[in-house]
Amino acid sequence: MAIPFAPRRGAGAAKRRWFVLLPPLLLALLLARPAAALVEGLYCGKRDCYEVLGVSRTASKAEIARAYRQLARRYHPDRYRPEPGEEGPGRTPQSAEEAFLLVATAYETLKDEETRKDYDYMLDHPEEYYRHYYHYYSRRLAPQVDVRAVILVSVCAVSAFQFFSWWNSYDKTISYLATVPKYRIQAMEIAKQQGLLRKAKEKGRNRKSKEEVRDEEENIIKNIIKSKIDIKGGYQKPQIRDLLLFQILLAPFHLCSYIVWYCRWIYNFNIKGKEYGEEERLYIIRKSMKMSKSQFDSLEDHQKETFLKRELWIKENYEVYKQEQEEELKKRLANDPRWKRYRRWMKNEGPGRLTFVDD
């Protein structure tokens, strides 16, 4: 009985192995690079930097500099004069310029110790193609100025801008308060009690003009307001410690202080179960209201006393207070004529309404 023809198992297995190995082989062929030590686009290209300068790999810095000066004088485009019968890369002004640039590139490569080490490593290990590209371009594209100096100058500039901006806001606030009758009258009374206004109106040889007297009185009033009124919040007197530069310098201290404070808080109130003091209660209230320290400090003392009397550090009491404030705001807006006009405009002519004007 004849046996039908069947393919051999060994041939099928060999084909399957070829199909499995084919993708890695193709990938290797695509990624394969020639193992030549000199690569176009790196350092001196296809030329050896040592051969360009005419020195050996063991040459010292002085020998490399001497060879560079000789070749630079020889191939400088402004001074180049071809000698009769000269052969080589510098027979014309254009080729002399190319030779000069090649000599300069070779010198820039070999004069620096780190760059020279990378170049020698490339000559000894030509197969590490991508590593050579990485080291070459990482050094070439590295910033010439120290990044730390740039950051320091930037922080100092921002700090200076902060200080002058805050001081300008503080001066404007003092000038405004000096025009408010309530504070101006009080400041003038204090100036009269201290005899400061009489000094401004001296007669005799030291007599001043009306403009000078007015300016001096204004400065006296402003100085009294500065000394008597405690301005808080965003218009307070600028402090050096609030500048960005000092905040960065004091950041480790603030971080350590916060860690110590947090550990004490956990130990005293969570573990030992102590009652909150006034400072701790105000802190919890401020966090519940989502206010910054400067914003909370700008509140009046009677407002803080109200918060403490209502025990707003307790979550349930704060929720009741918050609901009351929202209801009060709604009532105030409902009785506000400007708010009524705005709602009427939104209803009749606000966004989303199309109107056609007939000519």
3-state SS, residue 10: helix
Let me know: does 130 contact 69? Beta carbons within 8 Å: no
pLDDT of residue 155: 92
How far is Cα 318 from Cα 301, in angstroms, rounded to an integer?
18
Residue 76 amino acid letter: H
pLDDT of residue 220: 85
Radius of gyration, CA atoms only, the chain: 41
Residue 232 amino acid letter: K
pTM as predicted: 0.49
pLDDT of residue 8: 46
Render pLDDT for 40-63 as a digit per residue (tens, 0 to 9).
Answer: 778 888 888 899 899 998 889 899
Q: 275 in the Ramachandran plot: left (φ > 0), alpha (ψ -120 to 50) or beta?
A: beta
How far is Cα 56 from Cα 123, in angstroms, rounded to an integer?
13
The CA distances from residue 345 to 95, 115, 336, 340, 354, in Å, are 79, 72, 14, 9, 14
How far is Cα 226 from Cα 319, in angstroms, rounded to an integer?
39
How far is Cα 38 from Cα 126, in angstroms, rounded to an integer?
8
User: Residue 84 carries which DSSP code?
Assistant: T
pLDDT of residue 83: 59
User: Residue 230 carries which DSSP code?
Assistant: -
pLDDT of residue 257: 93
Ranges of the chain whose pLDDT falls below 70: 1-37, 39, 80-94, 142-145, 197-208, 232-234, 345-359
Let me know: does 139 contact 114? Beta carbons within 8 Å: yes
pLDDT of residue 192: 81
